[in-house]
Amino acid sequence: MRILHLHSRFFPEYSGTTTRLYNILSKLPDEILLIASDKRIKGDTIELKEEDFNNIRVKRVSLEPAKIYMKTPIHYIHTLYQKPKILVNATKSEQFDIIHAHNSSLFAQAAKRLSRKSNKPFIIELHAPPGDVIGLKNAIFNSVYFERENRKLLKSCNCIIVLTQAQKNSICSKYKISKGKITVVPNGADINKFTSKEEYKKKAEEIKERLDLFDNIVMYAGYMDRINGMIDLAKVIPSIITERPDTSFVFIGHGPEEDRILALSKRYPQVKFLPMVHYDEMPIYYQMCDLFIIPRPSTISAETVTPLKLLEVMAMEKPVLGSDVGGIAEVIKHGENGYLYEKGNMESFKKTLLEVLDADNTQIGKNARRTIVDNYTWGKSAKILQKVYEDLVS
């Protein structure tokens, strides 16, 4: 089969979504054409307009209006009408059997138009709740126009793909869509890459020595913003260090709240801030930690989406302490393959963290990896998606 994918970006832009796309699509027997923006998140242009990644052919197009229009109503008009048209035009000479749009209703609108023109089925895949991914910052547009459009699109597509059972339940309830129309294709981990290896251990020890870390290493890696818990975390770290001064906190990433972490790193030698680590090196850093934390407060996204890093760290046989939001609690069973604390309760976080640091987590780590090997590999996710494709064209 030939499958057309529409998404905002792809490699060399690394994110949870692009990692998911590559790891699932590259395992399919199908020919994949992926049309994406030629812009990175930071705005610089990717010069190579066509590129192959195994069975995935990427075609990049410009979706941005002229800069002089970016903060005017013309920007919204361009987003509403011109972007879907650009995506449709980019497919004129292409042949495909199924159209698969990701996240934004703008890409789903293009998929719907293409479906009507070609009489081919179309899929909408939601990597986050619809309200989180529509692509405009205007709250009135978001709540009125796009909410109505999302409802229409989700009802008109042939199939909806989501990442978790919690996300499926939420969409069924909110949009009154039958469960049979929605398929869960979970995130996964590369269990060959994210596994405990001697070479990782050796390099991890070198990094630990270079950073002058204590024996108890607590790590967070990812986007540093409010919805990932950075504000609350920055407030509780000083009291943890006071009680356990032999604990190091390693933060990897960037985001609007990174200054809070940077300030802590200047005040406490136990806090280390690393702005960026290449994705291919993350197994080494995961190997170095004694506990990985995901302190997400309750949001729509946190309750319904499982972060990739959770699965990758668990595959490394490392204990994870996460809040009991739905996207994490769907994977972690407290005291069996990881640890949970009461979401929004940083005293619960602190108490559980200190208990975990004193525990023998060897079996927890082994159980964590077994969970991933049995339920969350990219190969298993690819098989689920392939079945969706086969059912649509049969």
- The reported pLDDT for the residue numbered 43 is 62
Q: What is the pLDDT of residue 332?
A: 98
Q: Percent of the chain beyond pLDDT 70?
A: 90
- CATH T-level topology, domain 2-188+377-393: Rossmann fold (3.40.50)
CATH class of this structure's domain 198-375: alpha beta
pLDDT digits (tens, 9 = 90+) for 180-205: 999 999 999 999 999 999 999 999 99
pTM here is 0.88
Assess whether the previous peptide bond of 130 is cis (omega < 30° from 0): no
Task: List the Cα angle 39/40/46 in 5-degree steps.
Answer: 60
Asked if 38 and 61 touch (Cβ cutoff 8 Å), the reply is yes
CA distance 131 to 146: 8
Q: What does the domain layout of the chain look like in residue ranges?
A: 2-188+377-393, 198-375
Q: Do domains 2-188+377-393 and 198-375 have the same CATH topology?
A: yes
How much is the mean pLDDT over the chain? 89
Is 133's pLDDT higher than 80? no
Greater model confidence, 84 or 378: 378
Q: Give the pLDDT confidence score for residue 14 in this predicted structure.
A: 82
Q: What is the pLDDT of residues 116-126, one digit of tens each?
A: 999 999 999 99
pLDDT in tens, 60-117: 888 765 454 445 554 455 455 677 788 888 888 889 999 999 986 788 889 999 999 9
* Angle of helix 16-25 versus helix 308-315 axis, rounded to 10: 70
Other beta carbons within 10 angstroms of residue 258's beta carbon come to 17
> What pLDDT, on the 0 to 100 scale, is given for residue 146?
67
Residue 268 burial (10 A CB sphere; 0-12, 13-18, 19+): middle
Does position 136 have pLDDT exceeding 70, yes or no? Answer: no
